[in-house]
Structure 1
Amino acid sequence: MTAETQSFEVLPGAEGSPVILHVPHSARAVPAEVRAGIMLDDAALDQELDHIVDAHTAEIADAAGKLAAVQPWRFVNRLSRLVVDPERFPDEREEMLAVGMGAVYTRTTHRAELRPADTDPEPLIEWYFRPYARAMTEAVADRLAAVGRVVIIDVHSYPTEALPYELHGAGPRPPVCLGTDSFHTPPALLDAARAAFAGCGEIGLDSPFSGAYVPLEFYGRDPRVTALMVEIRRDTYMAEPGGPAGPGLGRLASALGVLVDAVTG
């Protein structure tokens, strides 16, 4: 089995669907060779995973895909973001480097030491980050070739109370936050998301998290690739931190399915 197949899974949808549901932060798995470089004991690592994992977001995306009239494609990270975070820039441009949470984290959500600060990130980036980025780029290119456009919907969650690592945690924390990009999030996509999640409580914009993931090959260059980040406050669908899902999961999956249908049409 290759690193690629261990690290992520591309789940095919309908050939005519332009939608990719991207789920980058839902997993808890940490391979043994990566675990060896993490300085937390087992109990502390479990606690960190409870805080950092966007628990049950893969289930939300899966249920939404089954509810949609035209099944979307899904790209799901099967390893914890403590291995690599596929949505970070692997260089000095990423502001999260300031808190030790670039592509390869050296600090925890509570700013404790996760790895030594002088850890060389390159081996993890080469083995996990670059294959993930290549595969996501290929998935987008495939949808462009098949349909002529792509809608990437990033499925995330966030805790009710801000964690110490958050750089912008002082702002509003609504039940649903929509993260946007000035180039890749057109008004029609934002309007469709607001309509789809209207029954899920207050909908905020770019707080506490902003932006939307687009592979670098297309970022800021190709308007046929549109993107939106859907951030769901965890108390609306699960027990925090790291607990089981509750009945809110079905309501959110239904809303996401409505959004998939709206942007597919």
Structure 2
Amino acid sequence: MSADAASFSLLPGAEGSPVILHVPHSARAIPPEARAGIVLDDGSLERELDHITDAHTAEIAELAARSARLAPWRFVNLLSRLVVDPERFPDEREEMLSVGMGAVYTRTTHGRALRPAGADPGPLVDRYFRPYARAMSEAVGERLAAVGRAVIIDVHSYPSERLPYELHGDGPRPPVCLGTDSFHTPAALTAAAREAFAAVGETGLDSPFGGTYVPLEYYGSEPRVSALMVEIRRDTYMTEPGGPAGPGLPLLAAALAGLVEAVSV
């Protein structure tokens, strides 16, 4: 397996399932070639990983997939988002560039330098970002070919208290935030998510994080691809920042499984 292929994993589900659980930010691994460009010492890097990683979201997705009657597919990033963030635009369209968090981060969650000013993101984008994007596009295309539609459920988490890098963090921070897209998130998908997560607590829309992930090949042009971002507030299931999971995790996994089942029919 090449280094690029080892940076993500597509875990098969049922052939008849349209659902892809996308888990982009759960890992902490940083390969040596990516670590070489980071200016933080080891201790500071570990603390940054505590803040930036959507800890235990891969486990939530795995438990949900195991318990759903029709198993979803799972696309999981095996590397930290400090290598590349596969959900950013790799160019000037990315608003998070203003805080040093484009496809390749140059600043930390608290505004410290992560990589030197003027560092070239190209090598990391070419080695990790582009293969990831191609593979995710192919996974969506396979669901379209197999069942005629694809439903991307983006599994994230966010801190209970706003971090300095958040551009839109002054609004509500509900237990579950649902990120939506005007083209790719039908009302029925949002309603299904609200019902599925009702046992967890209040759900909100697009605050503190909005939007959802769709591969650019399909974005804004393929109505058979629907998508929803599920942002789980971390204090509902883990010790912040970067600590162990708690008793809330199985409840969230069950809720996610309920959403998978609701949108699979």
TM-score range, shorter chain: over 0.9
Q: Distance in 2 between matches of 1:206 and 1:248?
A: 22
Q: Distance in 1 between matches of 2:137 and 2:117?
A: 30
Q: Is residue 252 from structure 1 mapped to residue 214 from structure 2 by the alignment?
A: no
Who is 1:9 aligned against? 9
What are the Cα deviations for residues 19-77 of structure 1, in whole angstroms up to 9, with x where unaligned?
00000000000001111110000000000000000000000000000110000000000
Please state how far the C-alpha of 1:261 moved relative to its aligned partner.
Answer: 0.2
> 2:219 aligns to what SS in structure 1?
coil
Alignment length, in residue pairs? Answer: 265
Amino acid at match of 1:198: A
Who is 1:229 aligned against? 229
Please state how far the C-alpha of 1:89 moved relative to its aligned partner.
Answer: 0.1
Residue ranges of structure 1 left out of the alignment (5+ in a row): none
> 1:242 aligns to what SS in structure 2?
coil
Q: Distance in 2 between matches of 1:39 and 1:190?
A: 41
Moved over 3 A (4+): none
Amino acid at match of 1:260: V
Amino acid at match of 1:150: A
TM norm structure 1: 0.99
TM norm structure 2: 0.99
Who is 1:36 aligned against? 36
Q: CA RMSD in A?
A: 0.5
Please state how far the C-alpha of 1:6 moved relative to its aligned partner.
Answer: 1.6
Please state how far the C-alpha of 1:117 moved relative to its aligned partner.
Answer: 1.9
Q: Spell out the pairing of 1:132-151 with structure 2 (5 A cutoff).
A: 132-151=132-151
Percent pairwise identity: 76
Who is 2:118 aligned against? 118
Q: Is residue 213 from structure 1 mapped to residue 216 from structure 2 by the alignment?
A: no
Please state how far the C-alpha of 1:5 moved relative to its aligned partner.
Answer: 2.3
Q: Distance in 1 between matches of 2:2 and 2:46?
A: 26
Who is 1:95 aligned against? 95
What are the Cα deviations for residues 209-228 of structure 1, in whole angstroms up to 9, with x where unaligned?
00010000000000000000
Q: Distance in 1 between matches of 2:195 and 2:72?
A: 19
Who is 2:172 aligned against? 172
Who is 2:202 aligned against? 202
